[in-house]
Chain A
């Protein structure tokens, strides 16, 4: 019995050293863009509810579609749609960056920095362009 007790796991275990985690690293653009890619992916995951709502509303009839249009036309709706647009375009560009890496290209320090910068600058620019084009298509802001 004493042998069993000695070998049991109830004895307090000495805390062991942990490897350094996220907070010990300098905040780099490449690292932030890596996080943004996952976060934008998660945002788009729930954003699919909007796409589903849009399609179901259109299929349901004029009243359901009017409700959808009312929400998307509201300030909150527009903010949500703007965020969705940015998340989509950011995830799109970030995904292309990952595909470039999958081909074994773009791993040099300067190339990595360029790709990270191109992702964020590109996604913000494209979002603004899409919204300007969108407002022009509707005949100006309203």
Chain B
């Protein structure tokens, strides 16, 4: 067996595999899924509570500290979770190199854009102006 070992001892000790990041994505997907349970329940409650309310009322409630903090946590947690998830889907189904690169880039841009835009909106609702 010794003769067939292609990996250097350092690579084996680090245990990061072919992607160089080891099980980080796997672990972070679990981390964000556990955090997502209370955050998703909170989102549903917030949305139902805001149904049919006037714009002024919605702004006041979404901008209140507790609701804004929960929404910010939901957004940050979700965009990270969905970034890992879509990356996994792309890696599974897209095998052509250039298309894979383009879709992986697009995934990152989309998640960053959604995350920053939503976070900015929540902060604006909170701080006014």
Residues of A within 8 A of B (CB): 38, 41-42, 44-45, 48-49, 51-52, 55-56, 58-59, 61-62, 65-66, 85, 88-89, 92, 95-96, 98-99, 102, 130, 133-134, 137-139
Contacts and interface: CB of A to CB of B under 8 A. Distances in A.
A133 B48 contact: yes
Contact of A92 (B36, B58, B89, B120): B36
Contacts of B62: 55, 58
Interface residues of B, number: 34
Interface-centre pick from A65, A95, A139 (highest chain B CB count, 10 A): A95
Contact of B86 (A45, A88, A102): A45
Contacts of A61: 55
Interface string B76-91: 0011001001100100
A88 B82 CA distance: 12
B114 A48 contact: yes
B58 A42 contact: no
Given A42-B86, A52-B118, A65 B51 contact: no
Given A99-B34, A130-B44, A52 B49 contact: no
Nearest to A92: B40
Contacts of A59: 59, 120-122, 124-125
Contact of A44 (B34, B52, B82, B121): B82
B117 interface: yes
Interface-centre pick from B36, B51, B55 (highest chain A CB count, 10 A): B55
A128 to B, nearest CB: 13
A130 B118 contact: no
Contacts of B85: 41-42, 45
A51 B44 CA distance: 12
Given A44-B82, A55-B122, A130 B48 contact: yes
